[in-house]
Amino acid sequence: MKQLCLAALLSLSPLMTQAEQVGEVGVDWTGNDILIEAVSDPKVEGVTCHVAYFDRGLLDRLSKGNWFEDPSNASIACRQTGPITIGDIDRGEDGEDVFSASRSIIFKSLRVKRIFDEANQTLIYLVHANELVDGSAKLAISTVPLYGSGGE
């Protein structure tokens, strides 16, 4: 079982880009925080997404049980941060993962997915929780228009 989990994690690693923490806001005395990370799209130069999510503190974990999981809530805002150059991206309706971070020991991850709306020349970035058993309806999107950017 351990080998299967490790193989699954290693198979995701090529999809993942690095996130850089740029902010941290304490929300209560139990150590719960809102973390804000900057994520650059590895295949679209000139686009940066900022993802905010809840990080449970140790006291909250002790008082409520559920030691190994953080909430699925997340927010995203993506903007052009330089000249846009689109690399070899997936242009299908399913898009492709830009970033993934674990939100529990095994079963839940926070994902940022890019979808290209070619007809409207817009990049759509979706943040959502990916769960094995019960999918989460908690999601947020952000768009980056390519009109006039020379992105194509």
Tell me, what DSSP letter sits at residue 88?
A: S
Beta strand pairing status for 122-131 and 139-145? antiparallel
pLDDT at 74 over 60: yes
Find the mean pLDDT for residues 51-69: 69
Compute the CA torsion angle 66, 49, 17, 99 (nearest 10 deg): 40
Which residues make Cβ contacts (< 8 Å) with residue 92, sequence separation at least 6? none
Point out which residues pair with 20 in neighbouring strands. 38
For 109-136, the pLDDT digits (tens) are 788 999 999 999 999 999 987 765 566 6
Return mean pLDDT, the chain. Answer: 77
Mean pLDDT of 17-27: 84
Percent of the chain at pLDDT exceeding 90: 43
Average pLDDT of the segment spanning 58-81: 73
Between residues 125 and 4, which one has the greater pLDDT?
125
Largest Cα span, the chain: 53
Report the distance separating Cα 35 and Cα 129, nearest Å: 16
Distance CA 99, CA 90 (A): 14
pLDDT of 5? 33
Q: What is this structure's pTM? A: 0.74
pLDDT > 60? residue 73: yes
